[in-house]
Amino acid sequence: MRRSSTRARADPMADTDSHTTHASGADAPESPPGPHSPPPVPVVGEVPPATEASDEQSPSAGGGEVERAVDGEAAEIEGELGELVKISAQRDEYLALAQRTQADFENYRKRVARDAALAQERGVAKLSKELLPALDNLDRAIEAAEDEDPLLAGVRLVRSEIAAALARVGIEAFAPLGETFDPNQQEAMAQQPVEGALSGTVAEVYQDGYRMGDTIIRPARVLVAA
């Protein structure tokens, strides 16, 4: 009887030790898995740890920065192109202005030269008109003088010098004897039948005419055959 009771008392101690062993086994830390150990089974409801790829920049984010960089370069290039177009337009405007100014200057220079030439011609024509009566008087003196007159040679010399001076400035005398009457160059003093002359032609020249190029300074005074 005593031996059985002693064994009964030993059994509770054994149970206590087994419970203690199981409890200590549940609380003991897990050993790190070996190279051939199976991966740990995730617990339901547990959030998986973030991977290293999530910490790095995603391809979509990198593509967005590239697009923004490309857009920035495109905007900069577009701005530079716009500035070049503006500068080119200003250059064309200044070039057109310079060409117009040059054309205006050329027209002004030609107009001034033409006006100067016309003024010179008017001055020469006006002076020649003042000298023509003197030539007419010299011609009358030569016709009235006798061949033996000692002054005749001097009068002829003066007359030839004046005529040469007028010729040097482009003034020449004309006598349209036998030509068809032209009211633009001739002044009819009389009209009558003349033997041997065709009707409408100049039968006699009373006074020589003078012209400078196409400008008639003084028309010739003539007799027109009827």
Strand positions, DSSP E, the chain? 171-174, 186-192, 202-207, 209-212, 215-218, 220-225
Contact between residue 169 and residue 126 where contact means Cβ atoms under 8 Å apart = no
Q: Give me the domains of the chain, ranges plus CATH numbers.
A: 74-168 (3.90.20), 170-226 (2.30.22.10)
* Residue 108: pLDDT over 60: yes
pTM of this structure: 0.54
What pLDDT digit, counting tens, does each position of 177-221 carry?
999 999 999 999 999 999 989 999 999 999 999 999 889 999 999
- What pLDDT, on a 0 to 100 scale, did the predictor assign at position 40? 55
Helix (H, G, I), strand (E, B) or coil at 181: coil
From CA 204, how far away is CA 33, in angstroms rounded? 150
From CA 116, how far away is CA 122, in angstroms rounded? 10
Per DSSP bridges, beta strands 220-225 and 186-192 are parallel
What pLDDT digit, counting tens, does each position of 65-82 carry?
777 777 778 888 888 888
Helix (H, G, I), strand (E, B) or coil at 32: coil
**Torsion from C-alpha of 116, 119, 123, 124, nearest 10 degrees:** 60
Residue 51, number of CB atoms within 10 A of its CB: 8
Contact between residue 155 and residue 181 where contact means Cβ atoms under 8 Å apart = no
Contact between residue 135 and residue 163 where contact means Cβ atoms under 8 Å apart = yes
